[in-house]
Amino acid sequence: MNLLEGKVAIVTGATRGIGKGILESFVAQGATVIFTYISSGSASEDLVNKYGDKVIGYQSDATDFDAAYKLVDDVMEKFGQIDIVVNNAGITKDNLLMRMSHEDWQKVIRVNLDSAFNLTKAVLRPMLKQRKGSIINITSIVGITGNAGQANYAASKAGMIGFTKSIAQELGSRNIRCNAIAPGFIETAMTEKLDQKVVEEWRNNIPLKRGGSPEDVANACLFLASDMASYITGQVVSVDGGLHM
Ligand code: NAP
């Protein structure tokens, strides 16, 4: 099946982890993917070497409002359409509130939440003209449940959910859908830094008894990006092995 044949997608932060998984599943289903990164130049080159003209790597800081417009302008000039946007770039700077610096609060909000505003705003005009589009925001179950030691991250991800539902309401009449995916514990570079004992405990608490893979998230993203989800908007799809029900 080529679910995304002829479609053009932008995926932010796709040099590794979940973003890379999304890129790979989109390409496998026929899409052309423009992906961003900030410092992983060599990982970006590897992807371009592997997938040729089906992917374009673009060094673009997701926190930069003007850079989002430049990205969209460049993609429109080259392809004349943008069908899918996945706001995936994200970071953690965990600490208890007592020890959390103002800088770490702001950095996480900027990378995780401002970034979604920046690119969604930039892509609005072309999608409105096309009268179609699918915007997918990668939030987290932590944005639904909260998490001690992640007040900044949880706030940014909860913000993304409110943003998603609002955009879905504003743009539904123009056939632009906006959904969120809330991954649970997905094993990527972001989670490699964690204490392995804690990781084992997490796995045991998950009904499906394993951490998720980038591919698990990518499969949900593929569905929401495709026309198979043409009547689905404003939803938060959890991909968490049943952790949050
Ligand atoms: P990751 O492995 O750390 O990868 C993050 C990606 O984002 C990298 O490609 C990175 O590129 C890029 N990036 C970071 N800051 C950026 C910026 N300012 N502008 C553009 N790109 C930037 O992360 P991940 O675990 O795959 O997570 C991806 C998303 O899923 C995040 O939004 C995260 O919050 C969410 N999530 C993850 C989990 C999990 O368990 N892993 C669970 C729930 C939600 P550079 O290397 O060039 O910086």
Residue 131, pLDDT score = 97
Residue 37, pLDDT score = 98
Distance between CA 196 and CA 191 in Å, rounded? Answer: 10
Distance between CA 59 and CA 124 in Å, rounded? Answer: 21
Nearest alpha-carbon partner for 89 in 119, 49, 46: 119
Pocket test for ligand 1, best of 190, 199, 210 (most atoms within 8 A of CB): 190
**Active-site entry in 58, 69, 153, 231:** 153
Say if ligand 1 is within 6 A of residue 83 CB.
Answer: no
Strand partners, 239: 183
Tokens of 210: 């394993």
Counting as low any pLDDT under 50, the low residues of the chain are: none
Residue 124, pLDDT score = 98
Contacts of 18 (CB under 8 A, 6+ apart): 88, 138, 183, 186, 188, 214, 217, 218
Looking at residue 98, what DSSP letter applies? G
Residue 215, pLDDT score = 98
Residue 147, pLDDT score = 96
Contacts of 47 (CB under 8 A, 6+ apart): 14, 15, 20, 23, 35, 55, 57
For 191, other C-beta atoms within 10 Å of its C-beta total: 16
Distance between CA 108 and CA 157 in Å, rounded? Answer: 10
| Predicted confidence (pLDDT) per residue in 60-106, tens digit | 999 999 999 999 999 999 999 999 999 999 999 999 999 999 999 99
What's the gap in Å between 31 CA and the centre of ligand 1?
21
Q: If you count DSSP H runs as helices and E runs as strands, how many of each does the chain have, helices first?
A: 10, 7
The residue whose CA has the least distance to atom 25 of ligand 1 is 190
What's the gap in Å between 14 CA and the centre of ligand 1?
8
The residue whose CA has the least distance to atom 3 of ligand 1 is 190
Looking at residue 186, what DSSP letter applies? B
Q: Following DSSP, what letter does each residue of 141-165 receive, concatenated?
A: THHHH--TTBHHHHHHHHHHHHHHH
Distance between CA 182 and CA 23 in Å, rounded? Answer: 18
Distance between CA 67 and CA 50 in Å, rounded? Answer: 26
* Residue keyed to tokens 């987290």: 140
